[in-house]
Amino acid sequence: MPIRLDERLTCIANLVDYGRVADVGCDHGKLGYYLIGTDRASSVIATDISEGSLKKARELAYENGVTERMQTRLGDGLAPVANGEVDTVVIAGLGGDVISRILASAREERKRFAHFVLSPNTHPEKVRREIVSQSHKIVYDDIVECGGKRYTVIKTEEGKEELDELQILFGAFYKDNASFAEYAKQELEYKQNILKKHSDKELLDRVELLKAALANVRG
């Protein structure tokens, strides 16, 4: 059965290079099934911390006859995946604090993977900080719009990364990203309007960071 993904999962799927993939926090399992069905992955390990979620992925794989190429495993983060067992780890649809914790636990256990494709719902800056600690470098860092929301999508590979604080906050390639500039201008205007009515230190700090980032945007 062919499957259609939304814009967010399509963007994530397009970033996966052919090979062995782990989809951590797979829930419905649609991404893994799509990767197998479109031959974008040789095999998928779909993991989830919730048995209820994993059941959906298991049924999807079973009903479509792909259980030999799509395994399901229960567990927290990368605990069910061994060091180097897959080429690409996808973690999408979780908060940046959870994703960075999952990556840090794997790092502490000396697990290495060639690529990460990460899409935090919140706190992308925590994920970028952890990527630097992983000795991975960012090769893709953009925002995809889906269902009226904006989602950060990041791809990494092994290598040394140096990001300044503005890149950590706004994305490795924010200086050349037209959609970042548009989003930052909207956020700046919104926050400046609030500041006209109330003084707020946190808001003021964010305004200064947005101004500094916008001043660096090229073109």
Binding footprint of ligand SAM on the chain (CB under 6 A): 24-27, 47-50, 53, 76-77, 92-94, 98, 102
Cβ-based nearer residue to ligand SAM, 27 or 142: 27
Least distance between ligand SAM and beta carbon 53 (Å): 4
Query: What number of helices (H) and strands (E) belong to the chain?
Result: 8, 7
Q: Which is nearer to ligand SAM, 94 or 184 (CB)?
A: 94
CB of 114 to ligand SAM, least distance (A): 20
Residue identified by tokens 């952890």 is: 130
Residue (98 or 127) nearer to ligand SAM, CB: 98
- 98 versus 103: smaller Cβ distance to ligand SAM: 98
Q: How far is the CB of 102 from ligand SAM (least distance, A)?
A: 6
Provide the minimum distance between the beta carbon of 145 and ligand SAM in the complex, in angstroms, as a whole number. 15
Strands 88-94 and 20-24: parallel
DSSP 84: T
25: nearest Cα among 57, 1, 2, 3: 57
CA gap 129, 137 in Å, rounded: 11
Which bin fits 143, alpha (ψ -120 to 50), beta or left (φ > 0)? beta
Coil, strand, or helix at residue 69? coil
CA distances from 200 to 126, 148, 150, 194, 205 (A): 23, 28, 25, 9, 9
Q: Of the two residues 27 and 87, which places its CB atom closer to ligand SAM in the complex?
A: 27
- Give the residue with the Cβ less far from ligand SAM, 25 or 124: 25
Q: How far is the CB of 7 from ligand SAM (least distance, A)?
A: 12
Least spacing, CB of residue 206 vs ligand SAM, in Å: 26
CA separation for the pair 89, 87 (Å, rounded): 7
